[in-house]
A and B are shown apart, each in its own frame.
Chain A
């Protein structure tokens, strides 16, 4: 039987949707890491599993039972949580703090019995805190605090342990120490472990499976080697990475260095055709790497126009919310004529802006380089007769370079 099962879970904080249709099962004794950029819903998954955040749709099962049907005390005996940090205003000693893990283990006014004492001793022993038990919790170091938080969860004697970024505040040595401890617990106590993490490599090293989240959706789920793929990670983290697979070892991820203008590299004049925010990241990278960028035509107030103004990039502008007129197009044509390369961003085309394609065709005709973004190319043509798509394809056929991520544009500019 699965220890945890999420079936088509959607969850939201007030009006803000956080999880969409997440289905995920964790087998008993498994160690699963939830990965993904900030704000993609990793921690929300933990909150759904603990019943802290009721799912808007779908069902969460603990040991085959709906989380909504499990009482608080019972749940505390099924699943324990180690939050990122615990704090209390009261001067608890480590022993007293760990004893709080027994809160739901016995009757209200009953004294702690032999079973409680045994659970506390065991939790302290596993986390190597026996000698620190009489020390005030507030005086512990970061690594010791994290161990105490784990001991508090262990004292609950649950079969499932959830951890929210257990290594976030720890130095390298303590990160490994905590994860080795969890590994030992999983093996010796048959614990099922689910943790969120930002450290892909540590997760790959220790976990049996990884779940990668992107904008509240499950982007990938599987063994580390299946999930840590360069294309997938680039898609989710919007950053270039290299993954090294060596047989017998966990895959290793390292970020590709951001392209930088070499000392002798050429500064190029680049014109960007964008709109609606599709060019902001590209403009930023162009400026950052020392190229001379221009852009337009853009409607005033468009987020790309704002980005251009903020980055001091010259832009041809049209009145807000209007179709492109001949004047703005001419201004853009003058800027584009000076450029050695012209880049088409991921813009949707409609009758209002399809005219800009002429600039790309002219540039290609006079021998300048043209780069065309090909992401969701098929779904971006909103012109009445769908004339944009064939023209874009014709550009690519005649030698325009296809690109998907801004880094590729920079690299293409550096070569040749």
Chain B
């Protein structure tokens, strides 16, 4: 399965290169314009792949750590926190100065949100999953409100930038951001893959994980940190794109099983392909008008989420 997906990746990426705002067309690389166009598309496709991979892996890790199949970077407020941080960086004009500013702002705010969610959920030295989910939902809406406040205070010029970015935009204008984000996502992925069997054991609950020789606290902190970093890097590169972390891991579990040693790499490849394909669709479906890719994933993910909820209600996972 892993090799099948790996073989699929160049096909999807290559195919996506063909699609432009004006429909399927291969630009002529002999002309200046053609080369520029090709480079723009290449960046965009690469960015889409990395972001999709990061979000899918973050979703899979959070679902295991929180023992909840509905967990996702959005649910925990991590995405909104990262969004708030990135918006602050854009508004303060720091984004233009350094490629590091956007991911750093997103990561710091995401981490602060997660720390706050964790602190709120912690009672008497114990952290309940319900507490985490509840405070995540609440802090997520607080972060969203703060984002709205920023929007209403923003200048017309800044407003356009933030709004466009909020809807999810894979058109990376700086190779530095692309390289930095990719590096962060690659490193976080390596760490969570290293924790794969610990994640498996942790889905049986912290006590059982302890009995199996695993330190639940260490794995939880490392895992949550990496999931936050994955999300923050993805948000910094592309804005808010939802539901990738929900759809992809679930689809992959039915194909390769729930074990994280196989799930995480396949989810990364599939998540990347999924987002690239969604983006290709978003660019060309209503050409010459471009639909934000976040809209496409949300329109696919919303119904999927509801279907998942209903299956769960029907006794799928007790």
Contacts and interface: CB of A to CB of B under 8 A. Distances in A.
Q: Point out which of B204, B257, B259 has the most chain A C-beta atoms below 10 A from its C-beta.
A: B204
9 contacts: A50-B210, A52-B210, A72-B210, A72-B215, A79-B211, A103-B198, A103-B212, A103-B213, A108-B194
Contact of A103 (B63, B124, B193, B197): B197
A91 B258 contact: yes
Contacts of A100: 200-201, 204, 212
B94 interface: no
A15 B292 CA distance: 55
Interface in A54-84: 71-77, 79-81, 83
A252 interface: no
Interface string B254-269: 0001110100000000
A385 interface: no
A55 to B, nearest CB: 16
A250 to B, nearest CB: 30
B211 A80 contact: yes
Interface in B40-96: 63-64, 67-69
A138 B259 contact: no
A321 interface: no
B258 A138 contact: no
Nearest to A164: B207
Contact of A108 (B69, B197, B201, B204): B197
> Which among A51, A52, A72, A81 has the highest number of chain B CB atoms within 10 Å?
A72
A298 B69 CA distance: 58
Interface string A111-150: 0000000000000000000000000001000000000000
Contacts of B212: 76, 100-101, 103-104, 156
A89 B261 CA distance: 17
Contacts of A86: 204-205, 208
B203 A90 contact: yes
B211 A109 contact: no
B276 to A, nearest CB: 27
A302 interface: no
**7 residue pairs, one from A and one from B, having the closest CB atoms:** A76-B213, A104-B213, A90-B258, A81-B211, A73-B213, A72-B213, A103-B212
A91 B250 CA distance: 10
B259 A96 contact: yes
A133 to B, nearest CB: 13
A415 interface: no
A93 B254 CA distance: 12
Given A81-B211, A83-B208, A86-B204, 8 more contacts: A83-B207, A91-B317, A93-B257, A103-B213, A104-B214, A108-B194, A109-B194, A109-B261
A72 B203 CA distance: 17
Contacts of A91: 253, 258, 317
Contacts of B215: 72
B64 A90 contact: yes
A136 B228 CA distance: 31
A89 B63 contact: yes
Contacts of A96: 257-259
Contacts of B32: none
Contacts, number: 84
Nearest to B124: A14
B303 interface: no
B157 interface: no
A83 B69 CA distance: 23
A103 B201 contact: yes
Contact of B69 (A89, A92, A93): A89
Nearest to A52: B210
B200 A103 contact: yes
Contacts of B125: 14
Contact of B253 (A75, A87, A90, A101): A90
A88 interface: yes
Interface in B117-137: 124-125
B42 to A, nearest CB: 32
Contacts of B253: 90-91
B193 to A, nearest CB: 8
B26 to A, nearest CB: 41
A77 B213 CA distance: 8
Contacts of A87: 204-205, 318
A233 to B, nearest CB: 31
A72 B214 contact: yes
A87 B67 CA distance: 10
B191 to A, nearest CB: 11
Nearest to A162: B211
Contacts of A156: 212
Contact of A138 (B124, B208, B318): B318
Nearest to A139: B315
Interface in A363-377: none
A88 B204 CA distance: 5
A134 to B, nearest CB: 11
Contacts of B208: 81, 83, 86
Interface in A290-348: none
A20 B211 CA distance: 24
A328 to B, nearest CB: 43
Contacts of B316: 138
Q: Which of B196, B203, B211, B318 is most buried by chain A, counting CB atoms within 10 A of its CB?
A: B211
A152 to B, nearest CB: 8
Nearest to B317: A89
Contact of B214 (A14, A50, A93, A103): A103
A91 B317 CA distance: 8
A72 B197 CA distance: 14
A182 B210 CA distance: 23
A59 B201 CA distance: 28
Contacts of B261: 109
Contacts of B124: 14
A88 B198 CA distance: 14
Nearest to B260: A90
A78 B259 CA distance: 25
A104 B209 CA distance: 10
Contacts of B196: 109
A52 B207 contact: yes
Nearest to B250: A91
Contacts of B257: 92-93, 96
Contacts of A51: 210
